Amino acid sequence: SYELTQPPSISVSPGQTVSMTCSGDELGDKYVYWYQQKPGQSPVVVIYEDTKRPSGIPERFSGSSSGNTATLTISGTQTMDGSDYYCQAWHGVTAVFGGGTKLTVL
Amino acid sequence: QLQLQESGPGLVKPSETLSLTCTVSGGSISNSKYYWGWIRQPPGKGLEGIANINYSGNTYYNPSLESRVTISVDTSKNQFSLKLNSVTAADTAVYYCARVVLDCATGTCYKNYFDFWGQGTLVTVSS
């Protein structure tokens, strides 16, 4: 089965820039989507099609992709950005999610 | 504003069938610009795509679950449903329904992101 790999956890200090990665076979041939999920809440998309930001998502969220790795970057991280982040891609007809990265802001 | 609401039993016995319905309000499930899907999340774990469907009944399943899953749509009720049979404790999870944006700008349609999600419903498999 197709897998997307994310680091389990990352820490960042408020105001700093943090990046988290998502890797998978032939990921460069697919679009990657990033979701933010706070405890007890449903996921919210923060980046779609590798680099695009939906309306209402702060500009400090950005996405990039190179080779088989996609990256979500948060610039000027705020305390409220502490969440779980999941990458997602379509593998054939199936939505595949990464295992998630827990971002701690402290 | 579009809203999705999951409904169904919160407790299912092992070997039985899990049945959930997602009711869509504030928009039509018959809109050809979207697919509709189910995603689940075991307690403390990550997300897993289960299946998706469009208004005309085109269905797509996660190969790892395909033998046990059925997704269906009822446009008259603006609802879509999930059935998962022969459940075990491993199927205990929060089940979300969500809308999938369909992008047809290039002439070939492809599934994009999940833009609206239900609040999720916890289904526990236990005797």
Q: Quick one: pLDDT at residue B110? A: 86
Calculate what percentage of chain A has a pLDDT beyond 70: 100
Residue pLDDT, tens place only, B40-68: 999 999 999 999 999 999 999 999 999 99
**Closest alpha carbon to A95 in B63, B103, B84:** B63
According to the 3-state scheme, what is the secondary structure of B17-29? CEEEEEEEECCCC
**Touching check for A24 and chain B: CB below 8 Å?**
no
What pLDDT band is residue B116 in, cutting at 50, 70 and 90? very high
Question: Is B113's CB within 8 Å of A33's CB?
Answer: yes
Question: For residues B39 and B19, what is the distance between their CA atoms, to the nearest angstrom?
Answer: 14
Q: Quick one: pLDDT at residue A98? A: 97
Question: Is B119's CB within 8 Å of A42's CB?
Answer: yes
Q: Quick one: pLDDT at residue B105? A: 84
B15 Cα to chain A: minimum distance (Å): 25
Contacts of A63 (CB under 8 A, 6+ apart): A32, A34, A47, A50, A51, A52, A53, A70, A71, A72, A73
Question: For residues A105 and A59, what is the distance between their CA atoms, to the nearest angstrom?
Answer: 18
Closest residue on chain B to A90 (Cα): B111
Closest residue on chain B to A96 (Cα): B49
Residues of A with CB below 8 A from B35's CB?
A: none
Question: Is B112's CB within 8 Å of A49's CB?
Answer: yes
Phi-psi region of B57 (alpha: psi -120 to 50; beta: other; left: phi over 0): left
Residue pLDDT, tens place only, A40-85: 999 999 999 999 999 999 999 999 999 999 999 999 999 999 999 9
Q: Quick one: pLDDT at residue A90? A: 95
Which has the minimum average pLDDT: A48-57, A96-105, B85-94, B103-112? B103-112
Q: Quick one: pLDDT at residue B104? A: 85
